[in-house]
Chain A
Amino acid sequence: MSTVLIADDNSGVRRVLVSMFAAAGMQTVTARDGAQALESARRFLPDLILLDVRMPGRDGFDVCSELRSDEATRGIPILMLTGQGVLETEYAGIGSGADGYLFKPVNFGDLEARVRSLLARRAS
């Protein structure tokens, strides 16, 4: 069973995402800020990381860059979650090493499709 790390500062969003992944047959680990996301990523080495852009302390881009520079977490696919539907966010996400991004509010179908696609790519 695949493990997904969900990093988002909003507890409601975290709970819904956990339910969505559970419904998709995946297990989850959650983090409420950037520092906790880095710690959980290194500790659990999840199959995929869902990273919110706006988080207190270290933001999603910062966390993403650090995960990419770490040998242990470099290969984990990262999907950025953003509430800002603007091109600058997309560029910054790609620049920091993310594999893709999803705009909030997240649609269950989109999320499942993107996650499965990234997991399949990693497995191959």
Chain B
Amino acid sequence: MTHGLEAPAAVDPNALHYQEILFSLVMSVVAVLGRDNPLVRSPEILWAFAAMLAFNLSYHRLLRVRGGAITPLVSMAVNVALCSLVLGYSGGDQSGFWPLYLLPIFTACLHLERRHVLGVCAAAGAFLAYFYLEAFWNDRRWEACEFLIKLGVLGLSAAVTAQLSVKERRQRERIEALGRSLERRTAGDLQAMKKQSLDCLIPGIVHALNNPLGIIIGTVDLLLKDAPAGSPRLQDLERIRSAARRCAQLGGDLQAYAQTQGSAR
């Protein structure tokens, strides 16, 4: 029933499975209320639900640690076993509690990968089949059909839930990937814009610097022209002119660099 499933994407094995706790709690109340039903063995069924509740609570509180003692898959298997216990205490193949198997199946669909979902479904089917062994053995066809219908309902529910879960997970992943890509692109664009602004700014700065440098160099040129030969100021003036020319050269280099970057883009 689950062949149509696509492999779910990344799964968080540590995601909280609150539905198991809530479901166990509700079913414990149901078991208390239905304790007078002749098919139900009370208080055993109550202990079974209490065990389910205790296990799920302790699993979430104590056992579910990253890479801890019990993996989510084992948790589902324990839940399947506890559901079977409930079925055993409430009439076996006659029990109306068989949809309880949907609890670990749905949880697996929501949080585990396809092969694990198939494993949980197989375990639920095997436990359910156990209650119909006698019917199979004695060739009671109607009861065998009943088993197949129940198995079909469980499988179909698993397939639909897993399909929806996969779709939702993929959408979430796409959105996350889109967000990451947008973040990267925005950072890249910002970097490019900064660079572009700098490339536009450089020619302006160099142009603004060239005017005062021109005044310095021109004035020094005139002073040098008028200075008498051998004047002690000649060397000072030469030094000023040389420094100003170095500044102008630096500006020219910067401008050439900005031009090269502009052409490269």
Q: Which residues of A contact B (CB under 8 A)?
A: 10, 12-13, 15-17, 19-20, 23, 54, 83-87, 103-109
Interface check B210, CB cutoff 8 A: yes
Residue B219 at the A interface, CB < 8 A?
yes
Which residue of chain A has the shortest Cβ distance to B244 in the bound complex? Answer: A105
Q: Which residues of A contact B252 (CB under 8 A)?
A: 85, 103
B213-233, CB < 8 A from A: 213-219, 221-222, 225-226
Residue of A with least CB distance to B219 = A16
Q: Which of B207, B218, B248 contacts A16 (CB 8 A)?
A: B218
What separation, in Å, do the CA atoms of A87 and B214 have in the docked complex? 20
In the complex, whether B259 has a CB less than 8 A from a CB of chain A is yes
B207→A20 contact, CB < 8 A? no
- Among A10, A17, A84, A106, which residue has its beta carbon within 8 angstroms of that of B255? A84
Report how far A106 CA is from B215 CA in the complex, Å.
8
| A23 with B225: CB separation less than 8 A | yes
Considering the complex, give the chain B residue whose CB is closest to the CB of A53.
B207
Whether the Cβ atoms of B221 and A104 lie closer than 8 Å is no
**B211 close to A (CB within 8 Å):** yes
Q: Could you tell me which B residues sit within 8 Å of A by CB distance? A: 203, 206-208, 210-219, 221-222, 225-226, 244-245, 248, 252, 255-256, 259
Please, which residue of chain B has its CB at the minimum distance from the CB of A106? B214
Task: Report whether B215 and A86 are in contact in the complex, using a CB–CB cutoff of 8 Å.
Answer: no
- Complex Cα distance A20/B220, Å? 11
From residue A91, how far is it (CB to closest CB) to chain B in Å? 13
Q: In this complex, what residue of B is CB-closest to A111?
A: B218
Question: A12-B212, A54-B207, A83-B210 are contacts. A108–B255 as well, Cβ < 8 Å?
Answer: no
Contact at B222–A12, with CB atoms within 8 Å? no
Residues of A within 8 A of B244 (CB): 105
Among the listed A20, A83, A84, A85, which residue makes an inter-chain contact with B211, where contact means beta carbons less than 8 Å apart? A83
The 6 A-B residue pairs with the shortest CB-CB distance in the complex, in nearest-first order? A108-B221, A105-B214, A16-B218, A83-B207, A83-B210, A104-B210
Among B211, B222, B225, the residue within 8 A (CB) of A10 is: B211
CB distance from B205 to the nearest CB of A (A): 10
Contacts of A105 in B (CB 8 A): 210-211, 213-218, 244-245, 248
CB distance from A32 to the nearest CB of B (A): 13
> What CA separation (Å) do A103 and B212 show in the bound complex?
13
Nearest residue (CB) in A for B206 is: A83
Knowing that A10-B211, A105-B218, A105-B245 are A-B contacts, what are 17 other residue pairs whose CB atoms are under 8 Å apart, sorted by A's residue number? A13-B218, A16-B214, A16-B219, A19-B222, A83-B206, A85-B256, A86-B256, A87-B259, A103-B252, A104-B207, A104-B210, A105-B211, A105-B244, A106-B214, A107-B221, A108-B222, A109-B221
